[in-house]
């Protein structure tokens, strides 16, 4: 795969990325947050509204924490985790402190890297009543989808901006186990199946993204499951449009 992700972005988003590249360097750590009058206070005493999170302090509370996910004007403003024991489903029933909880926590599986340099990083979370990803199902509403354009991920030394380009409900199967996302062939097969959902009209697509993405892009797929909706999951997918530190590459 190539190292560049901007080549395949719609022109308006290339411009957006250039602007964000300027504002992010100004905002990080200085309190000039993305506009968000409805932002929550986050959790564990932190919030990423200014794209600055004290990850070193958070790791002392739970070493499984490696980053932070923030979606403006939603309740989602909380840590990202990966179980060091390899128990991929642990955080479906435990919160970000590791305590047993019905809310769960947002986590990636052992099959994804912590540096966010995979073709597709899958962020899982419980989306049932009271769950950390309960609000993700709201993206099924066209107006809600249209009104929430981006999310942000903060990792050690970097702040990343993702354009939310598609959202849809799908069969509750593991994307990491269904496709070999480490190979060009596996990534291509995955994108082909995504396109079927979009052509069938079962997916929201942000204007300007009609041609989709390519295997050159860096994706994050937020995945919500709900015990009240067995066999189904809802996914909200973002494509990287700004890499503050310039370190996201293959």
By the 8 A CB rule, do 237 and 222 touch?
Answer: yes
User: Which candidate, 166, 230, 224, places its Cα nearest to that of 193?
Assistant: 166
Q: What whole-number distance in Å separates Cα of residue 114 and Cα of residue 141?
A: 31
Q: Which CATH number fits domain 6-243: 3.90.79.10, 2.40.260.10, 3.90.1150.10, 3.90.1420.10?
A: 2.40.260.10
Calculate the dihedral angle through the C-alpha atoms of 143, 69, 94, 138, rounding to the nearest 10 degrees.
Answer: 0
> Collapsing DSSP states into helix, strand and coil, what is residue 221?
strand
Domain boundaries, the chain: 6-243
- Helix and strand numbers (H, E) in the chain are 5, 9
What's the predicted TM-score (pTM) here? 0.84
The pLDDT-based confidence of 6 (bands split at 50, 70, 90) is very low
Q: What whole-number distance in Å separates Cα of residue 72 and Cα of residue 78?
A: 12
Torsions phi, psi for 153 (to 5 deg):
-125, 130
> Collapsing DSSP states into helix, strand and coil, what is residue 181?
coil
The sign of the torsion formed by the CA atoms of 131, 67, 1, 20 equals positive
pLDDT for res 42: 55
Q: What whole-number distance in Å separates Cα of residue 241 and Cα of residue 77?
A: 20
Task: Give the chain's mean pLDDT.
Answer: 86
Residues in Cβ contact with 201 at an 8 Å cutoff, skipping those fewer than 6 apart: none
Instruction: Name the strand (E) or helix (H) holding 193.
Output: helix 184-199
Q: What whole-number distance in Å separates Cα of residue 165 and Cα of residue 23?
A: 21
Q: What whole-number distance in Å separates Cα of residue 21 and Cα of residue 246?
A: 10
pLDDT (tens digit per residue) in 126-177: 999 999 999 999 999 999 999 999 999 999 999 999 999 999 999 999 999 9
């Amino acid at each position: 795969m190539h190292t560049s992700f901007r080549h395949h972005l719609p022109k308006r988003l290339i411009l957006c990325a250039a602007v964000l590249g300027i504002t992010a360097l100004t905002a990080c750590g200085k309190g000039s947050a993305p506009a968000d009058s409805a932002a929550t206070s986050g959790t564990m005493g932190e919030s990423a509204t200014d794209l600055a999170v004290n990850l070193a302090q958070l790791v002392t509370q739970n070493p499984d924490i490696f980053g932070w996910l923030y979606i403006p004007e939603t309740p989602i403003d909380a840590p990202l985790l990966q179980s060091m024991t390899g128990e991929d489903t642990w955080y479906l029933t435990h919160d970000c402190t590791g305590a047993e909880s019905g809310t769960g926590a947002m986590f990636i599986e052992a099959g994804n890297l912590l540096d966010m340099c995979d073709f597709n990083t899958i962020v899982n979370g419980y989306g049932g009543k009271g769950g950390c990803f309960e609000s993700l199902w709201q993206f099924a509403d066209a107006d809600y989808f249209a009104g929430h354009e981006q999310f942000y991920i903060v990792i050690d030394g970097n702040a990343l901006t993702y354009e939310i380009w598609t959202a849809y409900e799908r069969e509750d199967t593991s994307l990491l186990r269904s496709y070999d996302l480490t190979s060009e062939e596996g990534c291509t097969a995955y994108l082909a199946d995504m396109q079927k959902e979009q052509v069938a009209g079962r997916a929201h697509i942000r204007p300007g993204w009609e041609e989709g993405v390519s295997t050159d892009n860096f994706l994050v797929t937020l995945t919500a499951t709900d015990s009240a909706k067995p066999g189904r999951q809802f996914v909200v997918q973002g494509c990287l449009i700004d890499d503050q530190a310039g370190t996201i590459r293959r």
